Amino acid sequence: MTDLIVFSVGGNRYALRIENIQRIIQAIELRYIPNSHPFLDGIMSYENQVIKVMSFRKTIGLQSYASELDSLFTSLKTGHGAWVDALKHSINTGAKFTKTFNPHMCELGKWIDSFTAYDDRVSAVLNELIKFHKQLHIRGGYACEIYKDDKLEAQRILEVEISEIFTHTMGSLDTFIKELDLIANSLQKLLIYENGNKIFAIKIDIIEDIAHVNESEIMNDSKEEMNKFLEFDGILDLNGVLINVIKTVNLPK
């Protein structure tokens, strides 16, 4: 039997042999290395030594997690701007509001429910975002509810309350955008990896599972290696999910 750490990066799943992994820790702020290889994110202290940190995302040709979060938050801001515009149109014209008043069902709400903060500063901003986002949906729903009986009050709620709550909601998202690296670190993990006499860290997105498999279950794959730093072992079908099994990770110089 072979034990594998299964993890995901950019929506794809990979596995490394557990025998090469010393520890799994939360990603932390790193020290920059001038003129370093583009696949390296920096250096960190680990058990009285300085080790390099390799970005798995960069190694497989993906944008950084911070850049992906930037695109996500920008999209969430645009989506809720459209939500408020639709609410304004509904209350000002009497047209049916077709978007959701459930704060858990919009794209921002779904992201909030899926996000876990491990940093106190991130948690504080997240709590503010949750509060204002919930208020936005509740007051928006109330304004639409009373529209037929009191159009002027519905418009007041829209122009005064909704406008202010929306500003606070977008402000919280802007704070997330300003702290992208901090948020990325609060989500990503570091695999402390040993290859021969070299110890370094590999930054990944999400730990999925620990799999116990037979070597025969890893199917040979004839595709070419992605690059010289990742030596692939084959493909594993784990409960219907295809996983790229990596035999060895080599540290860039």
- Quick: pLDDT tens for 159-179: 999 999 999 999 999 999 998
Q: Are 108 and 81 in contact (CB under 8 A)?
A: no
Determine the average pLDDT of the residues in 183-206: 92
Q: What is the mean pLDDT of the chain?
A: 91
pLDDT of residue 246: 93
Give the pair of three-digit tokens for residue 177: 């955008």
Considering 6-15, 157-166, 203-212, the range whose residues carry the highest mean pLDDT is 157-166
pLDDT above 70 covers a percentage of the chain that reads 98
- Per the listing, tokens 């992201």 go with 111
245 three-state secondary structure: strand
Kindly report, residue by residue over 100-123, the tens digit of the pLDDT.
999 999 999 999 998 887 788 889
pLDDT at 227 over 80: no
Vertex 215: Cα angle to 222 and 196 (nearest 5) = 85
How many angstroms separate the CA atoms of 135 and 204, rounded? 35
For residue 13, CA distances in Å to 49, 105, 208, 237 come to: 30, 27, 8, 11
pLDDT of residue 226: 63
Q: Are 162 and 139 in contact (CB under 8 A)?
A: yes
Instruction: Point out the least confidently predicted range of 166-175, 206-215, 218-227.
Output: 218-227
How many angstroms separate the CA atoms of 81 and 234, rounded? 45
pLDDT above 90 covers a percentage of the chain that reads 70
Kindly report, residue by residue over 9-28, the tens digit of the pLDDT.
988 999 999 999 999 998 98
How many angstroms separate the CA atoms of 56 and 39, rounded? 8
pLDDT at 224 over 70: no
Helices 107-114 and 65-93 pack at an angle, to 10 degrees, of 140
Kindly report, residue by residue over 66-94, the tens digit of the pLDDT.
898 999 999 999 999 999 999 999 999 99
pLDDT at 155 over 90: yes
Give the pair of three-digit tokens for residue 232: 């692939």
Instruction: Point out the least confidently predicted range of 32-41, 72-81, 218-227, 236-245.
Output: 218-227
How many angstroms separate the CA atoms of 130 and 121, rounded? 14
How many angstroms separate the CA atoms of 27 and 185, rounded? 5
Determine the average pLDDT of the residues in 43-50: 93
pLDDT at 46 over 60: yes
Ordered by where they begin, the domains of the chain are 2-62+188-249 (2.40.50.180), 65-183 (1.20.120.30)
Classify residue 117 as left (phi > 0), alpha (psi -120 to 50) or beta. beta
How many angstroms separate the CA atoms of 4 and 19, rounded? 8
Q: Are 24 and 172 in contact (CB under 8 A)?
A: no
pLDDT at 64 over 60: yes
pLDDT of residue 181: 85
pTM for this predicted structure: 0.79
130 three-state secondary structure: helix
